[in-house]
Amino acid sequence: MTTITAPETTLSSAVASDGAPVPLLVHRPANPRGWIVWAHGGSWQHGSAAAWAPVTAALAASSGWVVVSVEYRLAPAHRFPAAVLDVLAALDWAETHSGDLPVVVGGDSAGGTIAASAALARRDTGDRVPAQVLAYPPLDPRCASPSYRARSGAFPNRADLRAAWRLWMDSTPEPTILPTPLEAPSLAGLAPVSLVVGSDDPVRDDVIAYADRLRADCIPTTLEVLPGVGHADVLSPRSRVLSAVPAALSESSLSELSTPTPQPTHLEGTPS
């Protein structure tokens, strides 16, 4: 993979639909190929754009894409859908600054969950639907699939992740946003999705289930399961997931995508 010159890093901000400020850390390589709005991991409770800066800067440098890293609000002080609203605001901001370049949404771990929810919310409100590039997002609040029990001692363990879901999710119904795309009756109308997960990751089956649902609804989908890789791999100095994300961004279905056509009406049975 060709390494691009180190990107320029600046601070900016957006405003969420509920009025909350959304700080943004922007890594801008020379002659960018596109823009990706990125949500960091941390079980919806931890992490920050600053803590993930080595990851997001490396992603910008290796991909040649502008990376807009979102300082989204954390649980339990700010429960769902606050973080999703922050990513939606970052998408709006990126689209006003990207010119004719494509804007996609992505994230790792809990940030991938948030990014997927934001893309689905865009579909359900009739806005432009961004393509998704997601690294090992947990997608089932029950953590019920066999991969959660496959490896004793694997991170994250099922009990801790279920507790993290409970701390993030609010009991108040949200009419236009879902916490996970697996709760949607249909995924039709989404833009292309690229998924990366390790074979040893407890959330592996969640990611595979999402890929299966997407393909069943005729969404262009790529899934890479990396042998021997566990969760939180983007934080590893020799991350294989972080190498896979630029490759996903180079896929023609993503790099040529600019402004997907909004769906003229909501699909029957989807939130509105």
Alpha-carbon distance of 22 to 39, in angstroms, equals 12
The confidence score (pLDDT) of residue 37 equals 98
Eight-state DSSP code of residue 14: E
Read off the pTM.
0.91
Is the separation of the CB atoms in 170 and 176 below 8 Å? no
- What percent of the chain lies above the pLDDT cut of 90? 85
What's the average model confidence in pLDDT over 142-164? 94
Q: Does domain 8-255 have CATH number 3.40.50.1820?
A: yes
What's the average model confidence in pLDDT over 239-265? 69
Supply φ then ψ for residue 71, to 5 degrees: -85, 75
The confidence score (pLDDT) of residue 152 equals 85
Catalytic machinery residues: 109, 201, 231
**Predicted confidence (pLDDT) per residue in 185-235, tens digit:** 999 999 999 999 999 999 999 999 999 999 999 999 999 999 999 999 999
Contacts of 130 (CB under 8 A, 6+ apart): 37, 91, 103, 104, 105, 118, 119, 122, 191, 260
For the chain, the maximum distance between any two Cα atoms, rounded to a whole number of angstroms, is: 48
Could you tell me the residue ranges of all domains in the chain? 8-255
